[in-house]
């Protein structure tokens, strides 16, 4: 048996970790921002990523709560997208910021400056490409000193495994462990 075959056999015996515990969170409105990542027609649709469609209601709920509280809301788009590509369910208001970036929304953008100018300490992060934008932007946020809240019902990927991996990584990676809190949209309260 070759070394490659042995590795593949081992993959077949990998056990799935238990689902993580989700936490109720109370967040200070003036120190928190909502970051909505890459909810676009091209990547959030019934053909390419139907799991994203299922998160839209929870994201809308957080948007409504955030806007009522006058909490900052920032949207991101992939590098090739424009505002016209955004899904109508989560369109920004005129006052809300849109940032175009690759996978890490902090990399080569002014996102950190915007958040620090508003004295933000905590970011609620929702969006699609959990294994891309969510994972890498959350890691970038923690590296810059922000606390990150991830409502698991507000993130999506093409396959459940990608979402599961993202959540596991955020909870277990040396860079993000103890800096990311997992929750659900209806478990977030603003104070």
Note the pLDDT of residue 123.
98
Concatenated DSSP letters for 144-180?
TT-EEEEEGGGEE-SSHHHHHHHHHHHHHSTTTTTTE
Q: Convert the pLDDT of each residue in 28-63 to its tens digit.
A: 999 999 999 999 999 999 999 999 999 999 999 999
Q: Convert the pLDDT of each residue in 72-98 to its tens digit.
A: 999 999 999 999 999 999 999 999 999
Note the pLDDT of residue 4.
63
Q: Which residue has the higher pLDDT, 32 or 2?
A: 32
CATH topology classification for 22-190: Rossmann fold (3.40.50)
Q: How far apart are CA 92 and CA 23, in angstroms?
A: 28
Residues 8-33 have a mean pLDDT of 88
Note the pLDDT of residue 24.
97
DSSP E strands in 24-143: the ranges are: 25-27, 32-37, 73-77, 97-100, 122-128
**Whole-structure pTM over 0.85, yes or no?**
yes
What residue ranges do the domains of the chain occupy?
22-190
């Amino acid at each position: 048996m070759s070394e490659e075959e042995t590795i593949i056999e081992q993959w077949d015996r990998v056990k799935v970790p238990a689902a993580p515990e989700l936490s109720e969170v109370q967040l200070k409105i003036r120190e928190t921002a909502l970051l909505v990542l890459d909810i676009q027609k091209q990547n959030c649709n019934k053909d390419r990523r139907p799991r994203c469609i299922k998160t839209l209601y929870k994201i809308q709920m957080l948007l409504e709560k955030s806007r009522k509280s006058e909490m900052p809301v920032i949207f991101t788009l992939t590098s090739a997208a424009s505002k016209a590509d955004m899904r109508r369910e989560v369109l920004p208001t005129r006052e809300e910021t849109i940032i175009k970036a690759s996978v890490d929304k902090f990399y080569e953008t002014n996102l950190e400056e915007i958040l620090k100018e508003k004295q933000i300490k905590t970011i609620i992060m929702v969006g699609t490409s959990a294994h891309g934008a969510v994972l890498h932007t959350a890691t970038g946020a923690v590296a810059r000193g922000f606390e990150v809240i991830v409502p698991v019902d507000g993130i999506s990927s093409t396959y459940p495994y990608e979402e599961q991996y993202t959540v596991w990584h955020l909870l277990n990676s040396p860079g993000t462990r103890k800096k990311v809190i997992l929750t659900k949209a209806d478990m977030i309260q603003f104070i």
